[in-house]
């Protein structure tokens, strides 16, 4: 579905992505792990065209996209849920959802998709007129994902979706992401919560200072000493899983040298 070949991205003199190469199968859910500053957001923004790669190639189903502007990339089927959600806080829930569908014209299909968002995210049900800025953090994250779905993406890029959510909500969020993945949407999720992201993901990538340090199936990564040490906070046999009842979710960066 997506292929990155030797992608280099710079901010002035800062070399943020260094020869990044990997591919993502159709329908896969890929977790991108990495400490602060490793390049996760840059990878997302380079894919969606918000930041331009200086060299290298990105293919969406065989078609090169790394030189296309972001709106063309959205039209081709890649939608990003940015870090911090970036909703329109003064607009209502429905208005935010409409903004996600700005590339589409078919009113009946839009209304159908909007109903589907409310079905998928019951927390938003009955809140169509509520001003987005007054929703809770979890509801805002669901709305941000709902807004992205309104563009009918084939690839969804999610940047730190669990940021600021309680453990219970994070679990619900990841359950929703797993359900979307089962419906065939390809997803790349940059996450500090390595436990849950590797639990729902099929593949994982570890970025370290802009390079792909490790990649493989989630199971392979979970068995890797380096991932256990840096992102799962353990080297022992049993992974201490976060509980669902509001217990502490270990920080992905625990033990990091960052």
DSSP conformational letter for 203: E
16 counts as binding ligand ATP under rule CB under 6 A: yes
Q: How far is the CB of 99 from ligand ATP (least distance, A)?
A: 24
80 binds ligand ATP (CB under 6 A): no
Pairing of strands 78-81, 155-159: parallel
Please pick, from the candidates 18, 40, 154, 176, the single residue that binds ligand ATP as defined by CB under 6 A: 40
CB of 38 to ligand ATP, least distance (A): 4
> Is 44:236 a contact under the CB 8 Å cutoff?
no
Binding residue for ligand ATP, selected from 39, 82, 167, 242, defined by CB under 6 A: 39
Q: Is 82 in the site for ligand ATP (CB under 6 A)?
A: no
Query: Between 43 and 124, whose beta carbon lies closer to ligand ATP?
Result: 43
CB of 71 to ligand ATP, least distance (A): 20
Measure the CA–CA gap between 31 and 241, rounded to whole angstroms.
17
Distances (CA, A) of 187 to 61, 92, 178, 194, 234: 14, 27, 10, 16, 27
13 lies in the site for ligand ATP, by CB under 6 A: no
For 8, phi then psi, to 5°, come to -120, 125
Please state, in angstroms and rounded to a whole number, the distance separating the CA atoms of residues 151 and 110: 9
- Of the candidates 34, 77, 167, 204, which one interacts with ligand ATP according to CB under 6 A? 34
Q: Which residues contact 249 (CB under 8 A, 6 or more apart)?
A: 167, 170, 193, 195, 196, 242
* Pick 55 or 106: Cβ nearer ligand ATP: 55
Using CB under 6 A, pick the residue from 24, 29, 33, 42 that binds ligand ATP. 42
**Binding residue for ligand ATP, selected from 37, 70, 164, 255, defined by CB under 6 A:** 37
Closest CB to ligand ATP among residues 12, 107: 12
**Distance between CA atoms of 30 and 204, rounded to whole angstroms?**
5
Q: How far apart are CA 55 and CA 27, in angstroms?
A: 27
Q: Given the rule CB under 6 A, which of 32-40, 65-73, 180-188, 234-242 is the region that contacts ligand ATP?
A: 32-40
What string of DSSP letters covers 143-160? Answer: HHHHHHHTT--SEEEEES
When computed from its CA atoms, the radius of gyration of the chain, rounded to whole angstroms, is 18
Nearest residue to 228 via CA among 216, 242, 240: 240
Q: Is 89 helix (H, G, I), strand (E, B) or coil?
A: coil
Q: Does 19 bind ligand ATP (CB under 6 A)?
A: no
Q: Binding segment for ligand ATP among 9-17, 55-63, 163-171, 211-219 (CB under 6 A)?
A: 9-17
Only segment of 35-43, 62-70, 110-118, 213-221 that touches ligand ATP (CB under 6 A): 35-43
List of residues contacting ligand ATP (CB under 6 A):
11, 14, 16, 34, 36-42
């Amino acid at each position: 579905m997506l292929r990155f070949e030797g992608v280099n991205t710079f901010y002035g003199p800062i070399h943020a992505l260094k020869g990044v190469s990997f591919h993502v199968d159709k329908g896969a859910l890929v977790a991108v792990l990495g400490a602060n500053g490793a390049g996760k957001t840059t990878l997302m923004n380079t894919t969606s065209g918000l930041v331009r790669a200086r060299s290298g190639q990105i293919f969406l189903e065989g078609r090169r996209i790394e030189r296309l502007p972001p709106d063309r990339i959205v039209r081709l089927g890649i939608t990003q849920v940015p870090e911090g959600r970036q909703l329109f806080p003064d607009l209502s829930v429905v208005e935010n959802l409409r903004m996600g569908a700005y590339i589409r014209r078919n009113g009946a299909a839009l209304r159908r998709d909007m109903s589907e968002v409310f079905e998928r995210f019951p927390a938003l049900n009955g809140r169509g007129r509520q001003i987005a800025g007054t929703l809770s953090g979890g509801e805002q994250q669901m709305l941000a994902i709902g807004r992205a779905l309104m563009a009918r993406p084939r690839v969804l890029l999610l940047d730190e979706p669990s940021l600021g959510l309680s453990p219970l909500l994070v679990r619900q969020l990841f359950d929703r992401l797993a359900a979307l993945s089962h419906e065939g949407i390809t997803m790349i999720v940059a996450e500090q919560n390595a436990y849950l992201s590797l639990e729902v993901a099929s593949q994982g990538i570890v970025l370290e200072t802009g390079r792909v340090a490790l990649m493989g199936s989630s199971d392979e990564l979970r068995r890797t000493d380096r991932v256990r040490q840096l992102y799962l906070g353990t080297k022992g046999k049993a992974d201490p899983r976060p509980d669902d009842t509001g217990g502490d979710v270990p920080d992905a960066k625990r033990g990091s040298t960052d």
